Amino acid sequence: NTLKKVVVIGGGSSGIGVIASIRKRVKEADITVVEPNDCHYYQPAWTLVGGGLFDISKTQRAMRDVIPSGVSWLQDSVVRVDPDEKYIETRQGKRVSYDFLIVACGLVLRWDKIEGLEETLGLNGVTSNYRFDLAEYTWKLVREMQGGKAIFSQPTLPIKCAGAPQKALYLSCDHWRRQGVLNNINVNFCLAGTAVFGVPQFVPPLTDYLKKYRAQVNFRHNLVRVDGKRRQAIFALDSDEEEKREIALPFDMLHVVPPQSAPAFIAQSGLSDGSGWCDVDKFTLQHKRWQTIFAVGDCCATPNAKTLAAARKQVVVVAENIAALINGAPPTAHYDGYGSCPLTVEKGKVVLAEFGYDSKLLPTFPLLDNTQPSRMAWWLKAWFLPRFYWAGMLRGVEWLAKSKP
């Protein structure tokens, strides 16, 4: 075996995870990760930070500390891939060739798609748990609110962790309920889509909580503009009528989740499926046109829920398949579409939605009824998983990470 060059685009959850899993299997690989950021984040805990239930500093570590030793770190961004000549090109003009390429660049939060939003984020009661520097502002707003109007928005899917917009709502409402001020607060959940959750089995328990918190659910409401100074959120109403209408809702607190898209270089390099996401086989995660390219995590065009839970299983599949190719075998490891969304319906309780392709339920603990709120699932979300992330997943521990055949 000659030394194989593996280039990984992105040092986020799936990038570092896949490197750790490859190194367990292939000792003779020369691995480079291209990642511009100094910091690495555990994003799932930002929901808890916004509810005052987690320390933000525990969600961040220095990138240099999470990149496994012996792996080269090129601190730069990929702007183009040449899949035929097998090299990547960076913003600073470097070209790096590869034998195998793993696209693990996550997705782009499109704050810019909502007019007036960027200049008012973090001010005027406008916040989002989708940013490290804003999750604590969510908690400040929640803590200080005694009455008024709160709006939680959800854009058109796909987004990462599709449950996160409503998780922010539940934890806020639960706090207000415990403080005895919920009755003074008018809560609106405004979604671009037409269902509170994509997997039907989980809709009834979530609807019960929305009722319990007296939250008004507004479907087909797509946030298009925010007037921070006047505290107004403007939604485009998706209706069958020819004339499209807009509605302005006043707020004291607005939690925004922005539209999300794939990084542009994927489509510009011809790697996308037309929607912009990386066009890989949904089982092997190998690119449909170039056998030397794989993708993992949020950037994939695969129809799974874009979650860290999905990435945790995908990294094992990609590592196994690349190891097989290096050994001259076909890539036979299959990903079952597993994704998970721990819905923090109240402090201390989680509805742990776990499902695969075609909304098939894939519970890790089949004896428990996953559609019911559970204290054990809260413990998993708030205590176990954050610890397991840093000490386990990023170091190649693959406990329960094999896809079911």
CB-based contact 19:68 (threshold 8 Å): yes
Cβ of 94: how many Cβ atoms within 10 Å? 13
How far apart are CB 42 and ligand FAD at their closest, in Å?
8
Q: How wide is the angle at C-alpha 279 spanned by C-alphas 277 and 282, nearest 5°?
A: 110
**Residue 173 annotated as catalytic:** no
Q: Cα–Cα distance between 213 and 225 in angstroms, integer?
A: 26
Q: Could you tell me how many residues of this chain bind ligand FAD (CB under 6 A)?
A: 36
> Residues near 343 by Cβ (< 8 Å), separated by ≥ 6?
163, 166, 167, 170, 202, 206, 350, 351, 352, 353
Nearer to ligand FAD, 231 or 317 (CB): 317
Cα within 13 Å of Cα(8), Cβ side:
33
Q: Cα–Cα distance between 357 and 310 in angstroms, integer?
A: 11
Nearer to ligand FAD, 77 or 186 (CB): 77
**Residue 299 annotated as catalytic:** no
Q: Which of 7, 12, 136, 254 binds ligand FAD (CB under 6 A)?
A: 12
Choice among 161, 173, 190, 300 that is catalytic: 161
Question: Per rule CB under 6 A, is residue 306 in the interface with ligand FAD?
Answer: yes
Question: Per rule CB under 6 A, is residue 311 in the interface with ligand FAD?
Answer: yes
How far apart are CB 200 and ligand FAD at their closest, in Å?
20
Q: Cα–Cα distance between 319 and 102 in angstroms, integer?
A: 10
Position of minimal CB gap to ligand FAD? 12
Q: Cα–Cα distance between 335 and 42 in angstroms, integer?
A: 23
Q: Report 105-144 residues binding ligand FAD (CB under 6 A).
A: 105-106, 129-130
Per-residue DSSP letters for 163-205? Answer: THHHHHHHHHHHHHHHHT-GGGEEEEEEESSS-S-SSGGGHHH
How far apart are CB 4 and ligand FAD at their closest, in Å?
20
Name the segment binding ligand FAD (CB under 6 A); options: 99-107, 207-215, 278-286, 366-374: 99-107
Question: Per rule CB under 6 A, is residue 308 in the interface with ligand FAD?
Answer: yes
Name the segment binding ligand FAD (CB under 6 A); options: 29-37, 186-194, 248-256, 327-335: 29-37
CB-based contact 288:103 (threshold 8 Å): no
Question: Per rule CB under 6 A, is residue 161 in the interface with ligand FAD?
Answer: yes
Active site residues: 161, 341
* Binding-site ranges for ligand FAD (CB under 6 A): 9-15, 34-37, 43-44, 46-47, 77-78, 104-106, 129-130, 160-161, 164, 263, 265, 297-298, 306-309, 311, 340, 342
